[in-house]
Structure 1
Amino acid sequence: MEHQIDIRSEQEEITAIVRMAHSGDTIACRRESQFEICKRALVEAKLVGITIQLLDDDGYIIRQTSSKKRSQVNGPTFNDRQLAVIKALEKVLAHCKKEGISLIGYSDELVALPTSIAGTDLASAYAIDVYTSGCYRGADGIDSLLTQ
């Protein structure tokens, strides 16, 4: 079954929709904040087999996530240590947002900018290259990741 979240829906209503979903259901929303609420509610409810989609104004899927048990994932997966590192990175990124730092991918480089100037003509003058130890590749470098 597909559930559409109204653009005016608030957190409580969105959480209730997620909790009532069954395996195989799809929940579609149009706001980034609603997508994030759906993801958090899905994790908290520990539901399996639910797909959450973020749609653009034309109804195209621009982001999607599905819940699965670890045993359902085929192929190479992250080990527990790698998952802990990813969680730590997510915490660091949350701190970046809190402190007003935007991380922007320019070609194959990752740069940090004060959020207040991100997207302005001054951005490149204030950009600081982030040393990623070779683990970040921009869209231009995706082919090199696939051949490694």
Structure 2
Amino acid sequence: MDTYLEKGSSYGEILEGIKSCDPDGAVCCTDEPVFNLAKVVLVKEKLVGITLQLVDEQGYATRQVTSKKPSDDQPSDSHLSTRQTAVIRALEKVLQHCKKEGIKLIGYSDELVAMPVVVSSDDVSPAVALDIDTHGVYFGADSVINNNDNI
């Protein structure tokens, strides 16, 4: 569950909001000065694993930061850059929102589709499945194993 900070929140109110946030949620605000002060709170209080979002009037995140320890940047054997890792974390957040909204993602060979969780596996059809535009970054495991030229 996300925690929302009021416009004009003080340092103490922000700290209280962060500490009361659900571990799977985010701390959200609609006010840029509050967002900036919340980033300061995260650093000064050394709070790790907190996602802070600046959201617009419709509730969409326009800016997001997640606090972490400096040593948590990435494993030494990772081939992803820090920026690529941040993109993966953002994708994970989107997938978490899908779960909250009752959407499941299903891979069909080299296609990815979304459908409501209330649809049983026996009822999967193009009528209930929405194709996801993966922009060419999603590949089914069979195509990756059988043909490395696609990647």
- Bigger Rg, structure 1 or 2: 2
TM-score band, normalised by shorter chain: 0.3 to 0.5
The structure whose residues are more often helix, as a share, is 1
What is the TM-score with the length of structure 2 in the denominator?
Answer: 0.46
